[in-house]
Structure 1
């Protein structure tokens, strides 16, 4: 089909010449540094964090720093079975498909047109039958289609970053829930010990009453305290089962509170390097997603502006057509080819093009403002986590000493009550104080672990090395 090749070559050459004459390349997207300068130009971001911390680069693989293989396994299960993560993955696929669609608009479309039919006896109009190979191509003179393609790529990158952020958030949620489940497991053991201590005081009150050293009121008070401790134990056991079900939901198990918890909280990891503030903005996947959405908004503004300019479409075809004429004529079979170029110049659209530019420009401003707000919250997340970590470390040291002193005081008071040198109320108060100090210490230890997870999430480091 030499004529088709010649026609197509001429049409494509015409488009290429027109594109070269126009010389309209798309403007480069704003870089992360450009976006930061526009969004945070009024903010003096320091070189180091306000809380003293190591400025060494942030390490990947923070999940392993807790030294808990069971937690590692739970996170792997969550990543494999989480419905929320599956939704985020599907959005990445959707965004990738949009890139393919945008790329397709930049390429010629080739199709086969065919027609077949018959003519009634009374029909004197001839019927055309045949097939034609046809090519159409819109030449992207002013970059409108390339801007569309670039915006789709930026949106795909943003969706990929959202997926990474969802993975990190899920890993952090599993770790937090696991620490709570471990804490409540230890609270159950403390409550069981408290109930056993209260039961022992009931026996001790009965013995004192029998030998004449105690009173009926003391025995009734001991029984009342014992009932209160039993009630508290049931409440803690319910909270523990709820915590286990929360973990099971995250990892995709049936919520039966059947998962086996740790017997003790994981030891607190060593110091975590925090890098520098600006590095966190480039590292955090949610910030990467926000920056890519700024780039997508920029490209959509370019597309809207390019719509003011004329568009050029090329077409070419080649095929064989037969025409069944009326009876007095002979049938005609012949080969036909065609090539054409169509230009469309927008003259009046009722304000649609101008309105679209205003719309896209407002969307770009909103994307920049969203980046600015997210960046400030991200920096605040790190500073808050660092501040809390230092404060909780000091609190843990104080509460550990207080718990040891309270437990010793409770033991001495019980010994004094046994020999009649103290009353039951003092014993009960001392015991409650000791138990409360131990529960408070446990809560602070769990909170330190949770805050360390928050710090890693705020810094944007990967939870698995090499991921």
Structure 2
């Protein structure tokens, strides 16, 4: 009877294990790789110059002052430390998953004192008494537990954490790249705003001198009140513009100081030299440059991580097989706990198969599958957005530099007109009004020229961001690219 029962249990176990090990139907999420086409962006005639990452980095032409600010911001900005801490968390999680494949071994020491009662035993002379005894025991042993990863569930978890580590690393690099671009733009804003402020102050001072002369003429009856009011209104407008530009200078200074990790006092003056872009972006930039964009690499790693998490959840439908064992000793005396005469050991294997929770697991599989599809869609959308950003920035670089050239020509003409007006005034061929008008035109045009330089510089920074970088820094040294044996150190 017992033999038949054992056979039935054995057959039922084989049936359950066989059905659970059946491969589940899974629509594999497509491996995205890095779907960058081999097309080239081209504006004008193709260039025969081979474009390297160093060539792209040289497109910005940052002065030493701006480079030092970027390096200081990467070292002192608290948000950079936050991004680095997230990377370290992902690294610790990956290390933890690596050890899940290994057996767990614990050393245990135990000491117990027990009292035992004997009730109802037919002991002569003690029928109405409760007899008891006390004893103590000491134990020392090793306890091991090892889950056999026959279906690859633990390996999938490890691969998922590995992908999470790479995604965190690329997110960290993308943040540093973004911080560098923000500092570069803030530096250019601070420099240009300060120069425009000085030009606006110069214009207000010139109009103030004109107002003084008009007042003298009005006092002598040579100017009407309407002319005085018109000149005064022009002066007040110029004064208001100068005040507004001073406010912009204070704001841009504080933004830059906060980005580099300093207290935003707004006291630091920046009058550095702006980069001059005599040449445009080389034609024929290969689209493979997008393969170094950290946000694309992070999105690709997140897709791989979601696929591995889906695979690990699928493997939860399979039975978990583990081995347990113990080796040690147990004795009533402490000095005998290491004696081989009191040694004990145990070795056992067990298999656990989910039965009534399979619906719950399949629900998690469906959720994981949808999450993987979401990550893939995000990755594809990011690729399209990257191509769009590069195309827009390349076209804008051509048009903005063309507008800057036109603005520079207009500035040359305005300066020449001012010089001619001043010479005619000295010879008595022109009045004071013509001189003032020519100076105002020159100052206005110079302010507009700086505004065009701002747009050209910001677009060049956006282009480098779209291409995946351009600043070299030892902080950008990767972690997950190191051999695994070095990662543990």
Settle same-fold status: TM greater than 0.5.
Answer: yes
CA gap 1:250/1:465 in 2 versus in 1, 3 angstroms: closer
**Do residues 56 (structure 1) and 50 (structure 2) align?**
yes
Residue 339 of structure 1: aligned partner: 347
Deviation at 1:134, TM superposition (A): 1.4
Residue 177 of structure 2: aligned partner: 168
- Asked if 2 retains the 8 angstrom alpha-carbon contact of 1:244 and 1:259, the reply is yes
Residue 17 of structure 1: aligned partner: none
CA gap 1:126/1:313 in 2 versus in 1, 3 angstroms: farther
SS at match of 1:117: strand
Alpha-carbon separation, structure 2, partners of 1:180 and 1:249: 14
**Do residues 259 (structure 1) and 268 (structure 2) align?**
yes
SS at match of 1:79: helix
Residue 70 of structure 1: aligned partner: 65
**Do residues 138 (structure 1) and 136 (structure 2) align?**
no
- Asked if 1 retains the 8 angstrom alpha-carbon contact of 2:161 and 2:305, the reply is yes
**Do residues 47 (structure 1) and 47 (structure 2) align?**
no
Alpha-carbon separation, structure 1, partners of 2:116 and 2:271: 90
State TM-score, norm by structure 2. Answer: 0.79
Alpha-carbon separation, structure 2, partners of 1:277 and 1:373: 20
Alpha-carbon separation, structure 1, partners of 2:116 and 2:303: 66
Deviation at 1:81, TM superposition (A): 1.0
Residue 378 of structure 2: aligned partner: 370
Mind listing any 5+ residue stretches in structure 1 that lack a counterpart? Answer: 1-21, 325-331
Alpha-carbon separation, structure 2, partners of 1:194 and 1:207: 20
Alpha-carbon separation, structure 1, partners of 2:189 and 2:247: 13
Deviations 1:98-143 (A, max 9, x none): 1111111100111112211223485547654311111111110000
The match for 1:35 among 33, 40, 55 is 33
Choose 1 or 2 for highest CA Rg: 2
CA gap 1:72/1:185 in 2 versus in 1, 3 angstroms: same
Question: Is 234-243 or 212-221 further displaced after alignment?
Answer: 212-221
- Asked if 2 retains the 8 angstrom alpha-carbon contact of 1:323 and 1:333, the reply is no
The equivalences for 1:324-335 within 5 A come to 334-335=342-343
- Asked if 2 retains the 8 angstrom alpha-carbon contact of 1:58 and 1:273, the reply is no
State TM-score, norm by structure 1. Answer: 0.82
CA gap 1:66/1:446 in 2 versus in 1, 3 angstroms: same
- Asked if 1 retains the 8 angstrom alpha-carbon contact of 2:111 and 2:138, the reply is yes
Alpha-carbon separation, structure 2, partners of 1:127 and 1:274: 87
- Between the two proteins, the alignment pairs up a number of residues equal to 427
**Do residues 321 (structure 1) and 315 (structure 2) align?**
no
Deviations 1:30-78 (A, max 9, x none): 997x4355xx9xxxx5611153475733423827952411111101110
Deviation at 1:449, TM superposition (A): 1.1
Alpha-carbon separation, structure 2, partners of 1:258 and 1:389: 33
